[in-house]
């Protein structure tokens, strides 16, 4: 857990251990504690352990099929057997009614056929299908980061493809600022207020003044984590919502190993 906390926050081992002890092993509370102390900037949200693997997305009509499988080495992730296995898993998903049923069947196939061939432990992280009126997908060149973006009919397909690339690059958490939960905002507000109170420049300032400053920070927090209000990676002077249309995006999905 200390190792994972260090990977997610970039904080030293000793401080990570102390935070975990104080939080009774609660990873999220330990991260919050480190952030309040100003030791951790932004913990990696995925929380995924370091691993190799491959992501494959296949379009069939208006449906995207996604397979995400992790393994032990990059060498295995890039061989033909591994890629063929992903194709096989996607064909299974096409024939099953639910993700759960497809994963169960794929796990059986993995155990009976592919584990011996591959020679490494593997984990099926995602095996799903996504439907929509307009869909754009993007898989990064390392095959370890990918996205699917669903939009309304009439959305510019070329710009939507760029939005899919943006999702991988900028890791938004929600579509719109209003989609950020009040609980998440309250949590971030508590952290930022603790940081401001530690700053000597704010000594003597009434708490009411600090809270007004924090309110402005919370507006920024919502905008920075929402897809539509992030600066567009292909044109940082423009927000994503201005490029694609503020009512165009229905949903997005980001995958990472």
Q: Residue 124: inside a domain, yes or no?
A: yes
Note the pLDDT of residue 45. Answer: 45
Residue 31's alpha-carbon distances to 42, 110, 170, 196, in angstroms, are 9, 36, 21, 18
3-state DSSP assignment of residue 218: helix
Q: Which of 141, 54, 118 is nearest to 90 (CA)?
A: 54
Q: What is the pLDDT of residues 176-221, one digit of tens each?
A: 999 988 888 888 888 888 887 788 887 778 878 877 888 888 889 9
Give the count of domains, the chain. 2
Note the pLDDT of residue 82. Answer: 95
Note the pLDDT of residue 126. Answer: 96
The whole-angstrom separation of Cα 1 and Cα 15 is 13
Note the pLDDT of residue 190. Answer: 85
Last residue within a domain, chosen from 114, 131, 148: 131
Q: Could you please report the per-residue DSSP string of 223-243?
A: HHHBGGGSEETTEEEEEHHHH
Residue 217 tokens read as 């920070």
Q: What is the pLDDT of residues 96-114, one digit of tens each?
A: 999 999 999 999 999 889 9
The whole-angstrom separation of Cα 175 and Cα 194 is 28
Provide the domain limits for residue 6. Answer: 1-49
Pair (77, 118) in one structural domain: yes
3-state DSSP assignment of residue 48: coil
Q: What is the pLDDT of residues 156-180, one digit of tens each?
A: 999 999 999 999 999 999 999 999 8
CATH number at residue 35: 1.10.8.10
Note the pLDDT of residue 44. Answer: 55
User: Please, are residues 56 and 83 in contact by the beta-carbon 8 Å criterion?
Assistant: yes
Q: What is the pLDDT of residues 129-153, one digit of tens each?
A: 999 999 999 999 999 999 999 999 9
Averaged pLDDT of the chain: 90
Q: What is the pLDDT of residues 14-54, one digit of tens each?
A: 888 999 999 999 988 888 888 888 877 656 544 434 379 99
Q: Residue 11: inside a domain, yes or no?
A: yes
Note the pLDDT of residue 49. Answer: 43
Its pTM stands at: 0.74
Last residue within a domain, chosen from 79, 113, 131: 131
Better-scored residue on pLDDT, 2 or 89: 89
Q: Residue 251: inside a domain, yes or no?
A: no
Instruction: Report the DSSP pairing between strands 231-232 and 235-239.
Output: antiparallel
CATH number at residue 62: 3.30.479.20
User: Please, are residues 81 and 134 in contact by the beta-carbon 8 Å criterion?
Assistant: no
User: Please, are residues 146 and 57 in contact by the beta-carbon 8 Å criterion?
Assistant: yes
């Amino acid at each position: 857990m200390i190792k994972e906390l260090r990977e997610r926050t970039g904080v030293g081992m000793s401080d990570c251990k102390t935070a975990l002890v104080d939080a009774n092993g609660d990873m999220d509370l330990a991260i919050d504690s480190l952030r309040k102390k100003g030791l951790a900037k932004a913990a990696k949200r995925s929380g995924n352990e370091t691993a190799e693997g491959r992501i494959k997305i296949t379009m069939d009509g208006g449906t995207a099929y996604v397979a995400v499988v992790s393994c032990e080495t990059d060498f295995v992730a890039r061989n033909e057997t591994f890629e063929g296995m992903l194709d096989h898993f996607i064909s299974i998903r096409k024939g099953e009614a639910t993700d759960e049923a497809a994963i169960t069947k794929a796990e059986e196939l993995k155990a009976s056929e592919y584990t011996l061939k591959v020679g490494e432990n593997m984990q099926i992280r995602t095996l799903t299908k996504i439907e929509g009126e307009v869909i754009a997908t993007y898989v990064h060149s390392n095959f370890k980061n990918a996205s699917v973006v669903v939009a309304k009919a009439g959305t510019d397909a070329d710009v939507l493809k760029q939005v899919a690339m943006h999702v991988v690059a900028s890791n938004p958490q929600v579509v719109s600022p209003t989609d950020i939960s009040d609980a998440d905002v309250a949590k971030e507000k508590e952290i930022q207020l603790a940081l401001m109170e530690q700053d000597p420049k704010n000594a003597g300032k009434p708490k009411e003044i600090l809270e007004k400053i924090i309110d402005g920070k919370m507006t920024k927090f919502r905008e920075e984590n929402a897809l539509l209000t992030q600066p567009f990676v292909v044109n940082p002077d423009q927000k994503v919502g201005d490029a694609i249309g503020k009512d165009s995006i229905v949903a997005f999905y980001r995958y990472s190993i």
